[in-house]
């Protein structure tokens, strides 16, 4: 993991996340998951894949405060973390909370 960023929608930051650096093994896993989902009948993803860990959903956070946080933590780096297994799930954003 290295660096932090935000996802924006309509010109407003909606989520704060930490970057998960890509590597050949990670890309291979992502391709296998995408293929399996398409075989199950799901449409291919339209957005470019951005590996990340969501740190916070944002609502009415002052943009200046967020920019300061991102600048202060942009050089964040963590040692690689072995992941022996994982669970794939989807969250859907609702008006009040994620489901």
Q: What is the pLDDT along the chain (99 residues), one digit of tens a residue?
A: 899 999 888 888 889 999 888 889 888 988 998 999 899 999 888 888 888 898 988 888 888 899 999 999 989 999 988 889 888 777 787 777 777
Q: What is the pTM of this model?
A: 0.73
Dump strand ranges (E) for 1-99. Answer: 4-9, 12-19, 52-57
Residue 89: both structure tokens together: 């799930």
Residue 95 tokens read as 């008006």
Which residue ranges make up each domain of the chain?
Answer: 4-73
């Amino acid at each position: 993991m290295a660096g932090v960023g935000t996802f924006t929608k309509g010109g407003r930051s909606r989520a704060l996340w930490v970057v998960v650096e890509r590597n050949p093994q990670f890309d291979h896993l992502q391709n296998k998951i995408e293929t399996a989902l398409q075989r199950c009948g799901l449409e291919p993803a339209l957005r470019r894949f951005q590996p990340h860990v969501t740190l916070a959903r944002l609502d009415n956070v002052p943009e200046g405060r967020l920019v300061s946080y991102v600048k202060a933590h942009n050089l964040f780096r963590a040692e690689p973390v072995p992941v022996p297994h994982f669970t794939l799930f989807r969250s859907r954003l609702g008006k009040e909370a994620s489901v």
